[in-house]
Amino acid sequence: MAMSQGKTISSYPLLLKIIRALVGGLFALRGWRFTSEQPVARKYVMIVAPHTSNWDFFLMVVLAAGLGRQVRFMGKHSLFTGLQGRFLVWLGGVAVERSSHHDFVSQMVVLFKETDDMVLIIAPEGTRSKVQAWKGGFYHIASGADLPVLAAQLDYAKKYVGIAPEYRLSGNYAYDIERIQAFYRDVTAKYPEQDSSCVKSL
């Protein structure tokens, strides 16, 4: 995995303000509101749910642009080639190999420990389609790096993007997942029939 600590889009606050103003402004014209409160922690894992539509990406862009942190996301190693790979790295992408020979959880824990300013954004469903369970990678990364988890919600009924207070993991996996998923109980996805945000996690 490439663990580049070079400059990314998050290194340019003015550019982020422009992106948040432009993209956020377009959503505001459609009635969307974004939380004005931002987390104070310098390092944390942020999960974003429910994830059922391509539109979720653009809502996450507005959210991420306002965090004031080095934002990272994970992608398949095969995507990080050529000009596309360089662009993804500049956006904050981290190439991970998910084979049995490459433990991406350990890779991300190491990356967190090598920096003092980083947010890893993960959609716990792992796909826009309905799944039977959340993937537990975000939990194990946060646990391994001793970091809080912050849950961000994309509520299409209220047209609101909000963030829950930081949650410190107890070490009891089932208990923590239940508490985190409770934040999504009254949240409406773009396509509710595909919503997996309140199912049991793997």
- Residue 119 resides in a domain: yes
What tens digit of pLDDT does each residue of 13-69 get? 999 999 999 999 999 999 999 998 889 999 999 999 998 898 998 999 999 999 999
- Residue 200 resides in a domain: no
| Arithmetic mean of pLDDT, 80-105 | 81
pTM of the model: 0.88
Show Cβ contacts of residue 129 under 8 Å, excluding neighbours closer than 6 positions: 194
| Arithmetic mean of pLDDT, 156-172 | 95
β-strand pairing of 149-155 with 118-122: unpaired
- Residue 22 resides in a domain: no
Strand 160-163: give its sheet, edge to edge. Answer: 33-34, 160-163, 149-155, 43-49, 118-122, 71-76, 93-96
Residue, of 197 and 177, whose pLDDT is higher? 177
Q: How far apart are CA 159 and CA 144, in angstroms?
A: 34
- Residue 178 resides in a domain: yes
> CB–CB of 111/93 below 8 Å?
no
| Arithmetic mean of pLDDT, 65-74 | 91
Q: How far apart are CA 28 and CA 10, in angstroms?
A: 23
- Residue 18 resides in a domain: no
Q: How far apart are CA 86 and CA 75, in angstroms?
A: 13
Token pair of 102 as six digits: 């490459």
What tens digit of pLDDT does each residue of 98-142 get? 665 458 888 889 999 999 999 999 988 877 777 777 889 999 999
| Arithmetic mean of pLDDT, 162-177 | 95
- Residue 92 resides in a domain: yes
- Residue 4 resides in a domain: no
Q: Which domain does 79 fall in, by range?
A: 37-194
pLDDT of residue 1: 45
Domain tally, the chain: 1
pLDDT of residue 101: 45
Show Cβ contacts of residue 155 under 8 Å, excluding neighbours closer than 6 positions: 161, 162, 187, 188
- Residue 156 resides in a domain: yes
